[in-house]
Amino acid sequence: MIPSHQVSIVICFYERIRHLRACLDALRLHSGVFGEVVIADDGSSPSVVDHLRQLIPDYDYPIRHLWRPKDGFRLAETRNRGVLGARGEYLIFLDCDFVVLPGTLEMHLQCARRGRFVLSGYKYLDPEQTERAMNGPLNQELIGRLDREIPGDDLVATQRKFWLRQPLFRLRLISARKQTLGGFFSIHRQDIERVNGYDENFVGWGGEDEDLGIRLVRKGVFCIPRIHQARALHLWHPKELGSKSWRQGPNIEYFSQPNKPAFCRNGLVKPKR
């Protein structure tokens, strides 16, 4: 298994300080698995940043906060900043509204392979369950109880579908566009560098995760689905961006362009001017 000092957890964050605290509290249950947490902040307000900086010393694992001035919704750029700021050779990506179940990160590291990424799933908590998680104490017993309250049959079915697709991707019998990717996955640094990370031409809500998954497959980096076994709880929050699909948003035209290369031009490494 990968040594803990080579493992960085990259958490994308904006404003939701209570959600982030629950996320960080859950990571306490994975002591010794990772070397650092990098919080990639998409321009939170000064008051939230001050609160976060006061919160960091409460944790017994290294946390670094990377902030940039707010300039719209730039999730792709924010995640790339997290990659560039991380010291580990193996990267685990989380969103700040995820509570990771005990044993999940360990499974990611057990499955880690060059040329593969490990994909997790998550169960959605309702507002009442979310308040219970946030009001804690967030220990293994509470996380397990919340997990058991929510059926997982859909995760089993989704994992089966992902497994069936993998040999078809490798044989190029189905389009790489069938590959999807969410906010909870892990990958070797050198593999995400092979596609130059997230495409920062995605500005505004949606499409950057799906685009990364497609480009990884095109580059020969395939999925190991652990959607059911290695999962998280997704904390509820209002849909600030509305209930429409991202496919009705600003990025769909760019996402739909044919024949985009696997190595994006505007990613971790920027084009020379």
pLDDT confidence of residue 242 = 45
Q: Would the pTM of this model clear 0.85, i.e. be above it? A: yes
In b/e form, how buried is each residue of 167-198, taking b as 16+ CB within 10 angstroms?
eebeeeeeebeebebbbbbbbbbebbebbbbb
Give me the helix-helix angle, 75-85 and 208-218, nearest 10°. Answer: 60
pLDDT confidence of residue 34 = 97
Helix (H) or strand (E) holding 144: helix 140-148
Dist CA 217 CA 207 (whole Å)? 16
Q: Where are the alpha helices (DSSP H) in 28-152?
A: 46-55, 75-85, 104-111, 127-135, 140-148
Dist CA 57 CA 13 (whole Å)? 18
4, 32 contact by CB (below 8 A) = yes
Is the backbone of residue 196 left (phi > 0), alpha (psi -120 to 50) or beta? left
136-177 pLDDT, tens digit each: 789 999 999 999 999 999 999 999 999 999 999 998 889 888
Location of structure tokens 């990025």: 251
Dist CA 232 CA 227 (whole Å)? 9
Partners of residue 223 on adjacent β-strands: 117
Residue ranges for the chain with pLDDT beneath 50: 242-243
pLDDT confidence of residue 178 = 86
User: What are the structural domains, with CATH classification, of the chain?
Assistant: 4-255 (3.90.550.10)
107, 183 contact by CB (below 8 A) = no
How far, rounded to the nearest angstrom, does the alpha carbon of residue 101 sit from its chain's CA centroid? 15
pLDDT confidence of residue 245 = 67
Structure tokens belonging to residue 121 = 């799933």
